[in-house]
Structure 1
Amino acid sequence: MRMILLALALAGSAAAQVPEPDTYRGEPYRAPVPATLRGASVIDGAEAIRLHEAGVPFLDVLPRKTRPEGLPEGTVWREPVHETIPGAVWLWDTGYEALAPAEQARLERGLEQATNGDRNAPVVIFCRSDCWMSWNAARRAVSLGYAGVHWFPDGVEGWQAAGGAALVRATPDDP
């Protein structure tokens, strides 16, 4: 039992010591993340709820699942439901290491709309816990000159664990 507790403690301290890279992070995206993000504040679930109640915009950057390639003709495919924090704008596919022009434009439009063009206005960027997608997107927002970026690394799981409002179905509207 002692060995198990020691292993768990070491795993937790290893996750807390993930260094902040100088570049965007690629695969695997679901992995322990750093405790910091230069130019942004890092928030927990309680702070996310407080900011949400204060009306700060939330941006969800989790990727959108698309129809798998190679499905036989006539195969019915339904896009899985994506649940998010109430009121969040879903800027899907904007957290990858490298962004295609459409995704870069979606992120820039989403940030512009969420902040009403005020690069000092607060905005919360999230996806799932232990996911580099939100770290990448928040880092991009900082690099675009946004000074009010709050990165929520615990994402929807942290929101739920902190007692946030029930998740809602996201719609893939392009901002």
Structure 2
Amino acid sequence: MIRAVLLALLLAGPAAAQVPEPETYRGEPYRAPVPASLRGAVVIDAAQALRLHGQGVPFLDVLPRKTRPEGLPEGTLWREPPHETIPGAVWLWDTGWENLAPAEQARLERGLDQASRGDKAAPLVIFCRADCWMSWNAARRAVALGYTGVHWFPGGIEGWLAAGGAPLVRAVPADP
């Protein structure tokens, strides 16, 4: 029963909560109810995401990359945990924070340009996790950069899986 309710919520598309669009980028907590809209972008549900994916529209995953914890004793082995994403998605890690460092901003701009092949009107799908402000921030930045084909998928990987999307694959981080 709980699974059916969760599936219905994820398939319904944008969060039903009445969350207003902020005038700027959103910070902590990033995992929280998101608005049902994003000015300048098309908000899509899982069924639309599956359809766009099937049409070959580029998908951009903006979930952060896990970094080596600070303060580990010298010589401690640390392996970056794997990140799984929608098949074919480009992982533009760390590009959904409230404030971006120059390297992160450049990674986002390069990734958008490559995915769109220089056509700012080309459709692009931006996502991360369900109810995650990082994808909202990144999609808002894409709109601010002049991209007019931005599709924001707030259901993220959870919505993708709940809708019967292809199994996730191991992500390869976009070049730094």
Q: Mark yes or no: TM-score above 0.5.
A: yes
- 1:92-107 map, 5 Å: 92-107=93-108
Distance in 1, Cα, partners of 2:149 & 2:88? 18
- 1:59-74 map, 5 Å: 59-74=60-75
Residues 25 and 98 in structure 2, CA contact (< 8 A), matched pair in contact too? yes
Q: Which residue of 2 aligns with 1:78?
A: 79
Output the TM-score relative to the length of structure 2: 0.90
Q: Which residue of 2 aligns with 1:36?
A: 37
Q: CA deviation at 1:121?
A: 0.2
Q: CA deviation at 1:15?
A: 5.1
Identity %: 83
Bigger CA radius of gyration: 1
Q: How many equivalent pairs are there?
A: 162
Show CA shifts across 1:91-115 (max 9, x none). 0000000000000000000000000
Distance in 2, Cα, partners of 1:64 & 1:168? 15
Show CA shifts across 1:25-81 (max 9, x none). 001101000000000000011100000000000000000000001000111111011
Q: Which residue of 2 aligns with 1:126?
A: 127
Distance in 2, Cα, partners of 1:52 & 1:43? 12
Output the TM-score relative to the length of structure 1: 0.91
Distance in 1, Cα, partners of 2:107 & 2:174? 10
Segments of 4+ moved more than 4 angstroms: none
Task: Supply the RMSD in Å over aligned alpha carbons.
Answer: 1.1
Distance in 2, Cα, partners of 1:173 & 1:137? 15
SS state at 1:16 partner: coil
* Unaligned ranges ≥5, structure 1: 1-13
